[in-house]
Each structure stands twice: as C-alpha cells, then as structure tokens.
Amino acid sequence: MKITDMEKKQGSFQIHIDSLTLEAGKIHGIIGGNGCGKTTLCKLIMGILKPDRGILDYEGLDLKDITMTAQRPYFIQGSVYENICYPLKLRHIRPDDQKIDHWLNLCGLTEKKHQYARSLSSGEQQKVSMIRALIFDPKFVMIDETLSNLDPENLELFENVIFDIQKKQTITWLLISHRLAHIYKMCDMLHFMHQGIVLASGSKQEILFESNDERIRSFVSNEVIRIES
C-alpha cells in the first residue's frame, strides 16, 4: 500500500502524508504522541474517512480485505456469536462454526458464545474484537491500541496468534500501541508520526535507537523499552 500527498483536515487538526509505503507481508508499527494522527490515518486507510486530497493506492486490495480493531470496540445488539458472524455476513461468507468455536476456545470464551456481547468485561470485549477482525481471513489488519489493553497473558496469546498467521499466510499488519516493548517485539518496520506528519520510516533499530531527530529521541526517551534477549 502506498500513500502519496494525502491530506485530511478535521477541525483545527490536519494530517498530511507526503509519502508512506506499507510493504505487503510485513508487520508495521505506528508510534507517536497522543493526537498525532495515528487513528485518523487508520480510518483513512479503512475508508471510514475520505481524504481531502492525495492518492491512496491499495495495490489490488479491496476494502473488504481490510479490517480494523479499535481501542473501544463497537458491538451490534446481540450475542458474542452474532458479533463474530457480522463481518462474515457483510461479505456474504457462510459462518464456519467449527472455526468460530476454535477461536472462542483459544481465547477462553467458549462459555460466553451466546452471552450478550456488550455485557462482557473490557478484556473479553477486546478478545471478541480481535476474533471478529480475523475470522474472515483478511489481507490487511490494523490494530489500534487493542492489544495495549490486554493483560500480559492474553497479550502474549495474540502476539503468538499474529506470528502463527504470518507463518501460514503472510498478511500485512499495522499496529498502534503505546507499549514500545510490544512494538519492538512484533514489528518489522516502524513509522513515527508527529502532528499529522510521518517524520520517519525505517527498521525498529533505526527509529528507536539510531534516529537523530530530536522529536523522535524525546518520545523514545520518555518510554520504557524492555528488550528481552
């Protein structure tokens, strides 16, 4: 996916992306301070927002191939099962109950299958949101702070899920997280945003440890990065 000279103004805030390439098959991370435009960028890619100008080249991807999870997931009125089936219904895909049961079991939600989705705990809602995003085998997945709200055990579960999917399918991921240790562990490439602009793109080593940009250095120095050998 390639973005060129894209602008979007919302009130007093404006996002302007001169050039951004999200190489297919890689796990990308977007980092930056609060309000820098990370979520707005995801909504533009998803088609929820329309750019005021610029080019967003999906390189053959259809919008139905793209999915996004949000920090505060939205659920339709209905059960956990009905919410998981919702993206399948939109894409005219017949639900595979065996596959759904596998995901529910993996996430420890088997007993919650027919429970009203909005009555779940916040952690359980995040897990249902992830299942719903992945159930139709998308080709481009954006995760907007969803994993940041999981406890360490469930965070590790979904990190392993992502790695396992990459071994089998090699899809493209775009992760937004304030946990730099998580970003460092997961991502192949990083993109740093500041006040609606992508300041830099590169490997995690280049962005987190080798950047000469004072804005990037200041952001990283304020975060605790724990890298396990």
Strands 140-144 and 172-176: parallel
Per-residue pLDDT of the chain (229 residues; tens, 9 = 90+): 999 999 999 999 999 999 999 999 999 999 998 899 999 999 999 999 999 999 999 999 999 999 998 878 889 999 999 999 999 999 999 999 999 999 999 999 999 999 999 999 988 998 999 999 999 999 999 998 877 667 888 888 889 999 999 988 889 999 998 778 888 999 999 999 999 999 999 999 999 999 999 999 988 887 755 444 3
CATH fold of 1-11+23-61+139-228: Rossmann fold (3.40.50)
Whether pTM > 0.95 for this model: the answer is no
Cα separation, 138 vs 46, whole angstroms: 12
Partner residues linked to 10 by β-bridges: 13
Q: Report pLDDT for 196.
A: 96
Cα separation, 67 vs 144, whole angstroms: 11
CA angle 52, 187, 152 (to 5 degrees): 110
Cα separation, 218 vs 229, whole angstroms: 25
The radius of gyration of the chain from alpha carbons, rounded to an integer in Å, stands at 18
Q: Provide the CA 154 distance to its chain's centre, in angstroms.
A: 16
The full set of domain ranges for the chain reads: 1-11+23-61+139-228, 71-138
Q: Report pLDDT for 224.
A: 53
Partner residues linked to 194 by β-bridges: 197
Q: Report pLDDT for 228.
A: 44
